Amino acid sequence: MNFTDLGKINYKDAWDFQHKLFNENIENKRLNKPTKNKLLFCEHNNVYTIGKSGNQSNLLLNNISLKDKGIEFYNIDRGGDITYHGHGQIVAYPIFDLDTLNIGTREYIYKLENTVIKTMEEYGIECGRLDGAAGIWIEPEIVANSRKICAIGVRSSHRITMHGLALNVNTDLTYYNYINPCGFTERGVTSMQKELNKHIDFEDVKAALLKNFRNEFAFIPKQLL
């Protein structure tokens, strides 16, 4: 039960590491051995990922344009549609055994959402959920004004989780112009920097996010804060 900050890491390297931890936990459960709950934070280079149920038409660039702009692209094994990861964004990957937490997948996602909502409250950013759409939104009830500040997409097998959330802190939002984020065309995307109109201390947000993870998922030791 521990936390690791991977820092800046290519998406594929982080994905492979997730799979290693994920598969080890599944094998341990099969053998009735203890599992290990692990929380990873990282920051990726520019990349688009699309989930199993995603629509490829929501990527608005071809392979040549992606290469010219230095953006990678992966079809991956989480739920949800297309999203962007890049500099100035905190990505959190919880590799959790839900049996050790005594919760179901729906409650797990609710706790992920709570973690972000409470972190944003510390910065004076009011946000919440949108029925039928994963992630955390500002002014979700008004379509013309609604904008996503955090994407959430998870995978669960044998009650072991992987993938997670991506919180826009100082993210360059122009990269969202080349996709229909999460399949939406009528709703926007935002960042903490845009909402507060100033550069945000990235490490401070990490610390706040980790603290709220610990509060929602009580097994993360205090000494890691």
**Which residues are tagged catalytic?**
182
Question: What is the rounded distance in angstroms from the CA atom of residue 118 to the CA atom of residue 137?
Answer: 13
Closest-CA residue to 186 (of 117, 140, 225, 136): 140
Query: What residues have CB less than 8 Å from 61, skipping those under 6 apart?
Result: 69, 71, 178
Collect all residues with Cβ–Cβ distance below 8 Å to 89 and sequence separation of at least 6: 43, 44, 166, 167, 168, 169, 171
* Helix, strand, coil distribution of the chain in percent, nearest 5: 35, 30, 35
Contact call for residues 130 and 113 (beta carbons, < 8 A) = no
Which are the contacts of 4, defined by CB distance < 8 A and separation ≥ 6? 38, 39, 40, 41
Q: Structure tokens of 96?
A: 């959790």
Q: How far apart are CA 66 and CA 71, in angstroms?
A: 5
CB atoms within 10 A of CB 3: 19
Name the residue among 218, 197, 223 with its Cα closest to residue 123.
197
